[in-house]
Structure 1
Amino acid sequence: MNHPINQSAAHALAIDRLEVHYQGITALRGVSLQIKQGEIFTLIGPNGAGKSSLVNAVTGIVPSTGSIEFGGREFNRLPSYQRARLGVIQVPEGRRVIAPLSVLENLMLGREALGARKGDVQADLDRVFALFPILAERRQQLSGTLSGGQQQMLAIGRALMGHPRVLLLDEPSLGLAPVIIADVFRAIRRLNEEGMTIFLVEQNARLALETAHRAAVLEQGRIVKQGEADVLAHDPEVEEHYFGQAAH
């Protein structure tokens, strides 16, 4: 478990009655969540529950109704690039690095999220390379030739180049070997210890609940449980449904 969160901490994200509809299908049904500044909040649930739809709604990739507030500001009508420039930045499921570009070129693309905000390029690169030394070694290598784990590190590093205030991670352990998963989650904990707010969607429910401060369970587009992560980790229904196998 990470450092304790001040219970009076301001909400970084406040989601209220959020709904997402795809061609007549309702993916999210009145979802309400509050993510506190400086915490790791995790969302678990079965395949098809709407987890990625929620992340994509927050970052503006898919349209939604309801309210999303960031730092007390309603931003549900803003386009996705403006949300990123405010500091709400997603690491997508499947990593989606730009294969023909080098590691360094992918990282530099992440700076587009800064917009008018300023950043020291070398300091930002140094931060990413300190977190993931393998990226420093392979900075000139084409991203498409990296291993899956290295691509996940690159995807996180690219997001960090945009100075996220809230980092949204969609299934960061998916398809990775256990030793690489451990490295990735070590980096996630370190970022949070440095003060970053993290919204984690994760197929490995046990690992997610061990990592997070608070959590919610999403099933069929609805939040069915939420609370302290260590409490949910000992909930009999959560143990029965999500600890026997990876819940994706």
Structure 2
Amino acid sequence: MLEVSGLSVSYSGIRALKDVSLTVGKGEIFALIGPNGAGKSTLLNTLSGMVQAQTGHARFDGVELIGRPAHRIARAGLIQVPEGRQVIAPLTVRENLELGRIAAGTRSGDRNALDRVHDLFPVLAERRTQLAGSLSGGQQQMLAIGRALMGAPRILLLDEPSLGLAPVIVREVFDALLRLNASGLTILLVEQNAKLALETAHHAAILEMGRVVMRGTAADLAHDPLVVDHYLGRTEETA
């Protein structure tokens, strides 16, 4: 469904991604793990059109993404949930959700989108008139995911969804992602909790210093001695 080949990105002369190649299959969860600064967020931002690549290709169902504007990419069905939620604090929960529909150019005729979001995250229905900035961190993360879902994504890009959340909320968010995937949604996940990412994903890749250094099934990587030593042998912390 998504094929990345030879992708390289530079900021101010510093190479953030170096010849990155990977394939995300339709209907799977694909996880990207690695240390801070490895280029994981840069890859998502490049795929969604927020950052321009210098070389390489990214094809979504055979259509080249590199060089296309971000709004065209979103309207093709590749929608990102950014790191840090980035909800619009002065707007209500309902208004934030509707912005997701508008930004992706989704037909207003999809009257079931809001019901599906409320079914996935009932708290968003309960707090639909509440200002987004007054929600808890976990509720804001649910709102950010719900906003993306309002755009009817065919592939969902998630950047650090567990960051800063209590373990019980992390579990709730990831249970929702598993439900979405079970319904057929493809997910590309950047996650700082490597253990959780590999437990959730079908396939995964490890980025270090802008390069893919390992890739394979999530189960195989979870049992690889090098991965265990560098990423799973220490306790992952969530605030």
TM class by smaller structure: over 0.9
- What SS does the aligned partner of 1:33 have? strand
1:142-157 equivalences in 2 (<5 Å): 142-157=131-146
Q: Which residue in the other structure is 1:76 paired with?
A: 66
One-letter code of the match for 1:129? H
One-letter identity of the residue aligned with 2:151: G
Question: Matched residues in 2 for 1:135 and 1:33: separation?
Answer: 35
2:127 counterpart of 1:158? no
Q: Is 1:31 paired with 2:20? A: yes
Please report how far the alpha carbon of residue 154 of structure 1 lies from its aligned counterpart in structure 2 after TM superposition. 0.1
Q: Contact 1:205 / 1:247 at 8 angstroms: preserved in 2?
A: no
Moved segments of 4+, more than 6 Å: none
Give distance in 2, aligned partners of 1:114 and 1:91: 13
Q: 3-state DSSP class of the match of 1:240?
A: helix
Residue pairs, 1:5-16, within 5 angstroms: 12-16=1-5
> How many pairs does the alignment contain?
236
Pairwise CA distance, 1:246? 3.2
Partner residue in 1 for 2:83: 93
Q: Is the 8 A contact 1:44 1:247 kept in 2?
A: no
TM value normalised by structure 2: 0.96
Q: Tell me the residue number matched to 1:183.
A: 172
Cα RMSD for the two superposed structures: 1.3
Instruction: Tell whether 2:57 aligns with 1:67.
Output: yes
Matches within 5 A, 1:89-238: 89-115=79-105, 117-238=106-227
Residue 73 of structure 1: how far off its partner (Å)? 1.1
Structure 1: segments with no counterpart, 5+ residues? 1-11
TM-score (normalizing by structure 1): 0.93
Partner of 1:246: 236
**Which amino acid letter does the alignment assign opposite residue 207 of structure 2?**
L
Q: Within 2, Cα distance between the matches of 1:205 and 1:92? A: 18
